[in-house]
Each structure stands twice: as C-alpha cells, then as structure tokens.
Amino acid sequence: MAQVNPTVGDLDGNSRIVVDYARRAHEAGAHLAVFPELMVTGYPVEDLALRNSFVSASVKAVAALAERLAEEGLGELPVGVGYLSRRVGVGERYGQPAGTPQNAFALLYRGRVEITSAKHHLPNYGVFDEFRNFVPGETLPVVRLHGVDVAFAVCEDLWQGGGPVAAARRARAGLLVTLNASPYERDKDNVRMELCQRRAREMGAAVGYVNMSGGQDELIFDGDSLIVDAEGELIARAPKFEEDLFVTDLALPAADDTAAGQEPRSEEPGEAVDGVRVVRHLHSAEPVASYAPDPPVLTPRADPSTDVGDVYRALVVGVRDYARKNGFGSVALALSGGIDSALATTVAVDALGGDRVHVLLLPSKYSSDHSVSDAEDLVKRQGITARTVAIAPIVAAFEESMPLEGLAAENLQARVRGTLLMGLSNQEGHLVLATGNKSELATGYSTLYGDSVGGFAPIKDCWKSLVWELARWRNAEAERTGAVAPIPENSIAKPPSAELRPGQVDTDSLPDYDLLDGLLDAYIGTDKGMRELAIDGYDPELVQRVIRMVDKAEYKRRQYPPGPKISSRNFGRDRRLPITNRWTPRA
C-alpha cells in the first residue's frame, strides 16, 4: 500500500508517483500495489469533476499510466489506483452531475486497464460534496489474484453498512482493499481502525485500508494506513503524516468456488443485490510459491489522550504543502511577541526551514518593551530573517488625512501592518501567513484587511487555549531532544493583548479563554442552542453575548484565508451559514 501525497490536477506528476512507488513495491517482492482514492487526479477535485475535459484527461492518464508501467518493466505487478471516470451508456438525469463523473477504481496490469469500478456511497456531510460531483457506481470487483479472491472498494463504501461490504461478504472475498482519502481531525486516531475491525468481523475477511497523506488546501491527510485480519486483529500500521510504502505479507485463504457457489469469470455482472452487482475477474488462479514472510510493521502510536503532537504535525504539513503546491518558496508574517504569531512562525519554520521564513516586527506607540524583546528573542532562537518597521509615523500620516478615534483608530494600526506585509509579499514573492486563532475568528475579534491579510492561516482552526497547549508541547519536544526551545517563555506566560491602546488585554473584550473556548466549541462544534448551553452550566447572559458576537462576525470569516482543518467542524468547508441572517437563537 502506497501512502502518498498527490496534488489535485497534476495528472503527470501523480502518475510519476505511481510509477516510482510501484517500482519500489516490485523491488520489495509485492504481488499487489494499491494507491489512494483519486490518486491520479488528486483529492478532492471538487467542481473539476464537472469539466468534461478534466474527466477525459483523467481517463486518458490512467490508460497511459498502465502502458508506462509495462514499459518500465512493471507490467506483471497488478497496480490499483483511484481516478476520475464517467459512467458510460447512460444518459444525463435530472438532479445528477452533468457528464456523469465517477470516483473510480482501476486495476492496471500488463499495459492495460484490467478492471474498473466506482464508489457507491457518496458522502454529503462535513467537508464532502460528492453528491454534487459524482454519480454512484453499481459494481463490486472481486479479482482472483494468485488463488485469493480480493475485493476492491473506495473509502465511504467501507464506512456505510450494506452495499459493497455486504457484497464482499456474499462473494466470500478473502481480502477487502479500500482506497481512501480520509482527512485528519482530532480524536479520529482509532476511529478508522475500529471501523476496519468491525467490517472484517462482519465479512470474515481481512481488510486493507490505504489512506492518502499530505495537504490539499484546508484538508490534511494523515496516512495511518492499516491492515487487520479476518478476526479484526491489527496486523500492520503505517506512520502518520508522512509518505510511506507499506509492504505487508498476508496469509489469506484460498478461494473456495464450492462455498462461493460460482466459478470466477470475466463477464457482465448479474442481478444486483442491495444495489451492488459483483463482477468476478480471473487474474491468476495459481497460488504463489511458499516463502518466509517479513515481519509486519506496527508503527507505535502516541497516547491518544494527548494528541497535541498530532495537531502540531498536521499544521506543519498544511503549511508545507500549501506553500509548495502553490509555488511559494518562502513565507512572511508579522511577529508581535505574542503567542499567536510566535506559534505560527514556529510552525512555518518547521514546515519550510528558517531560511524561508521572513518576519516583520511592526511596533506601534502602544507596543510594550517586552513584546519587542520577546519577538527579537524568538528571531534569535530560530535563526530567521527579521526586519523592524515602526508603524507610528505611518499611522500618524493616515490620521493627518482622516482623523480617527476609538475602534477605528485601533483598526487602522492593524491595517497599516497588513499593507506593509502585502507590500513585502508583492516585492519579494513571499506567501503571507495570517496569525489569527479560531477564538478570535469566532467572536469577530480581528480586523478585516488587517489581521485577516494573508494567503494561508496556520492556526485558523485552533482555539486560543489550544494555541498555548501547542506552544508548550513544541518547547517540551525541543527540550526532550536537547534543542533550544523555539518559543520564548514570556510569549506563553504573559496575558494576551492586541496592544492597540494603552494597557489593553484580550479580557477587556472577551471572557477568559478557557471558559470562552468551551462555550464556542459547544455552540459551533455541536450546534447546541441557548437552553442546552445553559443546562451545561454556562451563564445565560454570557451565552447570549457570545452567540451574538459569533453570528455577527460571519462576514469576516468568509473573507479570511484558508487554513489547516484539525477539528471536526472548522470555519470553511465544514460550517456554511448565510451572512445576511436575522435568525437569533432563543432556545
């Protein structure tokens, strides 16, 4: 199983990855190599699926990939890939995507596409819009491979009961292999494994789960590919947040045609049961010669109750791949000496290297001495390029032209900083990183065209309380390995402040973050109403105040840059609310 990192739309580059990893699999003696869901096109393709030219390019790329594998001397290795196809022989139907695109699977062998199928269950929840982009498949391929019946399914087909899972059980498959592009989110570490174990016991067959790795816009794919046996026991597991060729030897039962009730064949499927028709294909009937298996790989897992390290690694992957896949060799951001910009800078350094991170220190007349010194301390600890531009004279020049007071004057400072950052980006080609956290975005405690300036937002999906946890975890990791802690302790310990007026601290405008974040997570993450939040122990007046802030700030969130999704409900793909909205929760 090749746990790899494709890029959406890069059909040639993704095909090269397949050839590279297929060669490694061949050299390792593999009898089957399998890649993730929509490997050839990348995932998610979103409305690219509705472009006939893109679907045609994907179909041609898969055929060309089969030929290239044979030309490279890899034709004898069966290779399973995900790709974008279309349903043929059926006209367009009202309410279905034009062009009938499908999230498909292909088995490549000896220079040709040996068998194909398509995903049955199309998820339409959370970050997924597959009902919009695809039409469902109708068949389950069961391939007789070296005397073993192997079934192939795509991602959601494993998550839903019945359908392909039930068909694989009826077909008496010895192994079900699923191709996946399953995004990371917190508290999901063992959900996939438990799912595979449950399905294996239902089918009485081993399950192989190959997942994508890397970042695509807001989504992070964490790998975590795994294999369980027919009893649901974990046999092998790949590492998280990295690419890996995951080679495992399996002892699988020989196909039993008497028990199955039918001979293997390569012909049109028969009558569908539960909407799925089994297509049997004879690839090779003779079993492989006996050999000594290699021991399985079981990558150790951190304590699931302390998953902060996984969150941090997800942020690093998100920044690295967003910059790399969009052609940015470097990033720029404002470093204030506070915890948010300190963490965002540290993530960027771990993602790209200190020589590719450029920070601007932009003190105003309200910036404290310790903020400037904390920022300078971080620069020294991490060896990054820093420039200092005092913004007080620039702000004064604006105010001479248009006198501003109160909140308008405070916001002007943030907007001057944003203008300088974007000027540096235009001049030198850096990707600007916005440094706001999820608590600020939720409550609207950020300046449009100031704090929101940037192309990517590393900690956009992190509550403020999590930001502190991540900073402490990163420093502890450095100390554990004998390295210098990258974040100054004072940036972590001091009360947070925007420093836009004398003596300002965040709690002037917001509740304590430990209290606020719990309330926000309940309202945004689980859609609890005012009555439920009050039952949970939150003060009704505070609930009303916080909900009002959240609902009024929707227009700001729409204009904020994308950032890595690490929660079960982020601002962006997960949560879509109208900006013009007079509904006020009362219960």
Gap between the Cα atoms of 345 and 367, Å rounded: 19
Gap between the Cα atoms of 343 and 6, Å rounded: 28
Contact 487, 384 (CB under 8 A): no
182 annotated ligand-binding residue: yes
User: Which of 37, 156, 218, 410 is flagged as catalytic?
Assistant: 37
Gap between the Cα atoms of 284 and 413, Å rounded: 70
334 annotated ligand-binding residue: yes
126 annotated ligand-binding residue: no
Gap between the Cα atoms of 261 and 281, Å rounded: 15
Gap between the Cα atoms of 260 and 164, Å rounded: 16
Q: Which long-range contacts (CB under 8 A, 24 or more apart) does 367-373 make?
A: 367/336, 367/337, 367/499, 368/337, 368/499, 370/337, 370/490, 370/494, 371/336, 371/337, 371/338, 371/499, 372/337, 373/337
335 annotated ligand-binding residue: yes
337 annotated ligand-binding residue: yes
411 annotated ligand-binding residue: yes
341 annotated ligand-binding residue: yes
Diameter of the chain measured on Cα atoms? 90
User: Which of 114, 119, 410, 528 is flagged as catalytic?
Assistant: 119
- H/E run at residue 65: helix 52-71
Contact 382, 346 (CB under 8 A): yes
To the query of whether residue 462 is one of the catalytic residues in this protein, the response is no
At position 333, the amino acid (one-letter code) is L
125 annotated ligand-binding residue: yes
To the query of whether residue 37 is one of the catalytic residues in this protein, the response is yes
Helices (H), 138-271: 156-159, 163-170, 191-203, 257-260
440 annotated ligand-binding residue: yes
229 annotated ligand-binding residue: no
User: Which of 46, 71, 114, 155 is flagged as catalytic?
Assistant: 155
| Closest listed residue to residue 448, CA positions, set 430, 463, 465, 436 | 436
Count CB-CB contacts under 10 A for residue 485: 17
Gap between the Cα atoms of 576 and 185, Å rounded: 18
Gap between the Cα atoms of 314 and 459, Å rounded: 11
188 annotated ligand-binding residue: yes
To the query of whether residue 46 is one of the catalytic residues in this protein, the response is no
Q: Could you list the residues known to form a binding site for deamido-NAD(+), using ranges.
A: 411, 440, 556
Q: Could you list the residues known to form a binding site for ATP, using ranges.
A: 334-341, 435
Q: Could you list the residues known to form a binding site, using ranges.
A: 125, 182, 188, 334-341, 411, 435, 440, 556
Q: Could you list the residues known to form a binding site for L-glutamine, using ranges.
A: 125, 182, 188
Query: Would you please indicate which residues are annotated as catalytic (active-site) residues?
Result: 37, 119, 155
